[in-house]
Amino acid sequence: MWPGVRWSAFAYFKRFYVRHSSMEYSPKSVMMGCFYLAAKIEEFNVSIDDFIRNLRSGTPESNTETILSLEPVIMLKLDYHLTVHSPFRPMEGHLIDMKNSDCCANDVDLECVRPGAEKFYQKGLVTDVMLLFPPAQIALAAVRHGLLLAGKPATIVDDYVHSKLLPEDATSANKLIARLDEIIECVERQGQIQPQETTDRLQTRMQQWNKLQIALEQRTKMRVSGPGGGGLAGDEANNSDDDD
């Protein structure tokens, strides 16, 4: 699966949950749907059967049904803005430009940034950078980070920025470099995968809430269809007070 597909899927996922709470739609189903949709949009051809064969949980039929029913819903909540600009092509552009402008000494091979940049993107997937910063800037930050990880001085990037934007605009160049630092800091801060216990705790809480919600719905249904019905079956707080 291409990195572009993964980036798009995460972008859809994050944008979807900007609109709705995670209690309204199960995140696991939405994630499956987002991945399937991203594969379609980025023209990474995978049929629905191949897709669900790689899924570990749930029966194939239920998975198929969930994914295919969620697809139009996801598209609707994204306002049908399905093109996601990922930072991979801008990074290629930056590398080409940097190589062309001879900003680095002859012994520094810019290809060494790629593994570092990949790690940066991996961390960046779980953060908010794709919602906050334009992809060109994320790509430049990835290049910088890659240089650092490869042990090369990061001033290469600074010099490149200044030579590209000077003699006109030194202030914008400085702003851009400050922005790159900001992005790297954001990724570092938010990019850690949560430890297993936190996720387990969150999961059990969610399950409790789901059970409670189902129980409340059943009770309100009984009340309405039971003794002649009374009022709207929407105020759960009221009902819970009355019941015990």
Partner 1 sequence: MRACPKCKTNEYNNRSFVLMINECGHSLCKNCVDNLFVRNSGPCPTCGRTLKKNDFWRQMFDDPLIEKENHFRKKLRQVYNLREDDFPSLREYNDYLEHFEQLVWNLANDENVEETQLEVKRFASERLDVIERNRKRLGPDEIWVQSCLDDERRFRERLTMDIESQELTNASGPGAKGADARAIIEELKTSDLPAEVILDRQRKRQIEANLLEKEQEAKRKKTRVHDKKHQEVTTFGPLRKSGQPFVYHPVDLVLNGPALPEMFDLEACGYLRHMRPSTTAQVAGGFPTETGCYRALVESRSDLLVF
Which residues here bind partner 1, judged by CB under 8 A?
85, 89-97, 99-100, 134-137, 139-140, 164-165, 172, 175-176, 179
CB of 176 to partner 1, least distance (A): 7
Minimum distance between the CB of residue 228 and partner 1, rounded to whole angstroms?
29
Considering beta carbons, is residue 73 or 177 the nearer one to partner 1?
A: 177
Choose between 20 and 99: whose C-beta lies nearer to partner 1: 99
Q: Are 220 and 239 in contact, with CB atoms under 8 Å apart?
A: yes
**DSSP codes of every residue in 179-227:** HHHHHHHHHHHH-SPPPHHHHHHHHHHHHHHHHHHHHHHHHHHHHHHSS
Distance CA 102, CA 40 (A): 39
For residue 57, what are the contacts with CB-CB under 8 A and spacing of at least 6?
A: 28
Tell me how far apart the alpha carbons of residues 15 and 75 are, in angstroms, rounded to a whole number. Answer: 11
The least CB distance from residue 183 to partner 1, in Å, is 12
70/91 with CB nearer partner 1: 91
Cβ closer to partner 1: 114 or 164? 164
What DSSP string describes 40-108?
HHTT----HHHHHHT--SS-HHHHHHHHHHHHHHHHHHTTT------SHHHHHHHHHHHHHTT-S-TT-
Q: Which is nearer to partner 1, 169 or 200 (CB)?
A: 169
**Least Å from the CB of residue 79 to partner 1:** 20
Secondary element (H or E) of residue 122: helix 113-125
Give min distance, CB of 182 to partner 1, in A: 10
Record the tokens describing residue 66, joined without a space: 């969930």
Q: Smallest distance, Å, CB 181 to partner 1?
A: 13
The nearer residue to partner 1, 30 or 91, going by C-beta atoms, is 91
